[in-house]
Amino acid sequence: MLVVAAVLAGMVWSRLAYWQVVQHGRLAMQAQAQYREFVQLPALRGAIFDRNLKQLVVNTTVYSAFVSPDQVAAGDRDRVATGLSSVLGVDKAKV
């Protein structure tokens, strides 16, 4: 029984080593592709009314931009901030 458990444990450990060592490069590329994927989510919703048909919620289109500072190289941050400020129409200091 102990031999069977040792063989099964060896199979599990060898499979884990295969995924972490041999397949590391391919899996890392897949993870980056998923992380950097652009997904557009349409959020079209209807208006919300109370029981007297008074509109409680007004739907408006809102655009947002997000940049994670740790994902931008230190030497490029000033250039990125300048570009974003001109596109967004916001002062560079606020970006």
Contacts of 68 (CB under 8 A, 6+ apart): none
- Closest C-alpha to 56, from 67, 65, 47: 47
Residue 22: what pLDDT? 92
pLDDT, tens digit, for every residue of 28-73?
988 888 777 677 877 777 888 999 999 998 878 877 777 888 888 8
Residue 95: Cβ-neighbour burial (10 angstroms; 0-12, 13-18, 19+): middle
* pTM, two decimal places: 0.39
73: left (phi over 0), alpha (psi -120 to 50) or beta: beta
Residue with tokens 């500072």: 69
